[in-house]
């Protein structure tokens, strides 16, 4: 099926779509963090790439990537229509993710990405989060919750 809009018109339409956050996914991640008493995280921090969760004291940025929009290789399927558009769109999302990772790491941040579909594996999520946070050498006042 052919797109009924010109590339310029499609771009204009798509640019007006704003994310309303994936509430169910982020709420599930919050449930996991709270259930395992993992604290120190914030949402909505003004960092490049808009991480879903940030642990400012540990300088850890966490992203929960949607399987479709970020092209999870284990279960991602391209739509049958407008194949060229979707290939380019998903590829550019993946490249942007890599660029954000490089930028944040260059600024001293640790970056962790989770696939949305992996949130069902709570033990693995908690293990990865704790491993990352435990490996950070925090100032003693911050580690004690005083900073």
Number of domains in the chain: 1
In-domain check, residue 92: yes
CA distances from 136 to 59, 68, 79, 147 (A): 8, 32, 41, 15
pTM: 0.77
Residue 90 inside a domain? The answer is yes
pLDDT in tens, 6-63: 888 888 877 776 655 567 888 999 999 999 999 999 999 999 999 999 999 999 999 9
| 10 located within any domain | no
Is 130 a domain residue? yes
Domain harbouring 66, CATH code: 3.40.960.10
Structural domain including 107 reads 21-137
Q: Please indicate, yes or no, if residue 91 is contained in any of the structural domains.
A: yes
Name residue, tokens 């909505």.
Answer: 44
């Amino acid at each position: 099926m052919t797109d009924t809009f010109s590339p310029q018109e499609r771009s204009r339409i798509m640019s007006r779509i704003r994310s309303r956050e994936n509430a169910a996914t982020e709420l599930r991640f919050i449930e996991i963090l709270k259930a395992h008493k993992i604290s120190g995280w914030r949402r909505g921090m003004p960092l490049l790439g808009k991480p879903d969760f940030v642990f400012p004291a540990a300088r850890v940025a966490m992203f929960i990537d949607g399987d479709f929009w970020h092209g999870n290789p284990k279960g991602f399927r391209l739509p049958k229509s407008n194949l060229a558009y979707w290939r380019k769109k998903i590829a550019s999302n993946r490249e942007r993710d890599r660029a954000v990772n490089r930028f944040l790491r260059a600024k001293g941040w640790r970056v962790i990405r989770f696939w949305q579909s992996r949130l069902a594996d709570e033990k693995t999520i908690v293990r990865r989060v704790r491993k990352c946070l435990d490996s950070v050498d925090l100032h003693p006042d911050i580690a004690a919750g005083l900073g």
